[in-house]
């Protein structure tokens, strides 16, 4: 028996529940691996056999710092296995975590619940004894109540199976730390038994002193979209200020710095620039607004449309700045795009502002070469019409304009002289306020950034 498991057994008052994790994407794979490292017996489940094979052989199918090492450790301990069989999951688990995606529905702002519904239904058909199904996916409020009915109707064990909601707040790039040391745990439950199961499943994390908020299903569902809406609003707020700065001749970076010293405001998520993207914030605020309209309270979150609009305008403004630096005409201009991922330390290109800008420049006739330390392969698959390079300096060869779109540390550290030696024109748009303007200007670069004179 390994130390983690022995420790867990020693601290638990009841036997540790056996866990399954349905869906092994960014959220599910991280959750499964971390829970096994904490000492639980975990079975990861996915409908994609290729993903299951890669995880079983010790390979994390996406970029996430620290996770490959923990996967190796978890597999070595013998406490983590992966399968495509829901039947096996039903037999094995006491607590089943649903971690499948809820992307934006095609042609609508609503969340697409196909994966959640089918995962829950498929699992339920194999639940023959008392068990807890725990939703972690981000869903429209009211989903958990609907799924409770579904589970209890379909499961052979009927009302012996209960449902709870446990929203997940992990950030890509910090997923391991956010999972092992979360700010808080939120348990949406219908019964004392469900709460007990959740407390048992998170015992090692609760023991660290992590605050637990126990609430009802609807509140737990709302916590997640409310949190993401707040974060998106904060980013768009400072980006709205950047728009004002641009016409007033003011500097949004100084403005943001001054605001951040006010504890009530704080500096986190107050970084102006190209704005937010990724697999969560954009689709979550849209789905929330959509759901609120369905519930007849659309006006309460109507501001989220504005938050979305401000965010998208930053992308358009970045394209404008590149055009200005290119002399007013993008057709034929050679542009080097530094960054493809939606943020640094990630290979995720879902709704990536960087690629949105790169594709718009391409459509307007520019020759765009993209480089990114981790996301090039994903970007190439999604946008084969763009040109790619593995290295920033070589990507910049012959460029008329360089545009920084994702603030990787590799790009922050670029030597303006070294890059200046290979470009056709020393002109740069800093879409993320990642560079030191004085340094670049001293090296003869024309430097432009959003919200700065």
Footprint of ligand UDX (CB under 6 A):
168-172, 228, 231, 235, 269-271, 273, 275-278, 280-281, 342-343
Tell me 358's DSSP state. H
Nearer to ligand UDX, 163 or 352 (CB): 352
CA dihedral sign, ordered 418, 424, 425, 431: negative
Q: How far is the CB of 352 from ligand UDX (least distance, A)?
A: 8
DSSP letter for each residue of 100-151: ----BPTTSSSB--HHHHHHHHHHHTT--SSEEEEE-S---TTHHHHHHHHH
Q: How far is the CB of 242 from ligand UDX (least distance, A)?
A: 11
DSSP letter for each residue of 238-294: HHHHHHHHHHHT--HHHHHHHHHTSTTT-STT---SS---SSSHHHHHHHHHHHHHH
Q: How far is the CB of 3 from ligand UDX (least distance, A)?
A: 30
Nearer to ligand UDX, 148 or 228 (CB): 228
Distance, CA of 372 to CA of 413 (rounded, Å): 14
Q: How far is the CB of 7 from ligand UDX (least distance, A)?
A: 28
Nearer to ligand UDX, 94 or 172 (CB): 172
The Cα-based distances of 166 to 30, 98, 155, 347, 423 in angstroms read: 15, 10, 21, 26, 50
Q: Which residues pair with 97 in a beta bridge?
A: 21, 134
Nearer to ligand UDX, 168 or 203 (CB): 168
Q: How far is the CB of 109 from ligand UDX (least distance, A)?
A: 17
Let me know if 274 is exposed, middle or buried by CB neighbors in 10 A (0-12, 13-18, 19+). buried
The alpha carbon of 315 is separated from its chain's Cα centroid by a whole number of angstroms, namely 19
Q: How far is the CB of 263 from ligand UDX (least distance, A)?
A: 17
Q: Which helix (H) or strand (E) holds 20?
A: strand 19-22
- SS3 call for 212: strand
Q: Supply the residues annotated as catalytic.
A: 280
Nearer to ligand UDX, 275 or 451 (CB): 275
Nearer to ligand UDX, 168 or 400 (CB): 168
């Amino acid at each position: 028996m390994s130390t983690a498991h022995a420790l867990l057994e020693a601290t638990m008052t009841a036997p540790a529940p056996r866990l399954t994790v349905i869906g092994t994407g960014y959220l599910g794979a991280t959750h499964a691996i971390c829970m096994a490292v904490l000492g639980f017996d975990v079975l990861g489940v996915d409908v994609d056999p290729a993903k299951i094979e890669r995880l079983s052989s010790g390979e994390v199918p996406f970029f996430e710092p620290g996770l490959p090492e923990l996967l190796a450790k978890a597999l070595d301990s013998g406490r983590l296995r992966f399968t495509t069989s829901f039947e096996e999951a039903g037999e094995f688990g006491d607590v089943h975590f649903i971690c499948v995606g809820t992307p934006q529905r095609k042609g609508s702002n609503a969340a697409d619940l196909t994966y959640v519904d089918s995962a829950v239904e498929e699992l339920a058909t194999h639940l023959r004894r008392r068990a807890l199904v725990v939703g972690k996916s981000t869903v429209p409020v009211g989903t958990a109540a609907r799924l409770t009915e579904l589970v209890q109707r379909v499961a052979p064990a009927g009302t012996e199976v209960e449902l709870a909601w446990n929203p997940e707040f992990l950030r890509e790039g910090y997923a391991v730390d956010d999972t092992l040391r979360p700010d808080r745990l939120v348990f949406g439950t219908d019964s004392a038994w469900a709460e007990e199961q959740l407390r048992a499943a998170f015992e090692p994390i609760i023991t660290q002193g992590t605050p637990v908020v126990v609430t009802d299903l609807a509140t737990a569902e709302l916590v997640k979209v409310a949190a993401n809406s707040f974060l998106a609003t904060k980013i768009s707020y400072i980006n709205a200020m950047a728009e004002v700065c641009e016409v007033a001749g003011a500097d949004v970076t100084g403005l943001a710095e001054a605001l951040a010293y006010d504890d009530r405001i704080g500096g986190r998520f107050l970084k102006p620039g190209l704005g937010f993207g990724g697999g969560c914030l954009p689709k979550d605020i849209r789905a929330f607004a959509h759901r609120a309209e369905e519930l007849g309270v659309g006006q309460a979150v109507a501001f989220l449309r504005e938050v979305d609009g401000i965010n998208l305008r930053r992308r358009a403004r970045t394209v404008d700045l590149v055009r200005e630096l290119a002399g007013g005409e993008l057709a034929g201009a050679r542009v080097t795009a530094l960054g493809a991922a939606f943020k640094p330390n990630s290979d995720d290109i879902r709704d990536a502002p960087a690629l949105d800008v790169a594709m718009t420049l391409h459509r307007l006739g520019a020759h765009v070469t993209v480089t990114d330390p981790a996301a090039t392969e994903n970007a190439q698959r999604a946008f084969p019409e763009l040109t790619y390079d593995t290295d920033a300096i070589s990507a910049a060869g012959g460029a008329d304009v360089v545009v920084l779109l994702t603030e990787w540390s590799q790009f922050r550290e670029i030597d303006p002289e070294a890059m200046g030696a290979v470009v056709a024109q020393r002109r740069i748009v800093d879409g993320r306020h990642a560079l030191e303007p004085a340094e670049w200007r001293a090296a003869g670069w024309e430097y432009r950034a959003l919200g700065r004179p």
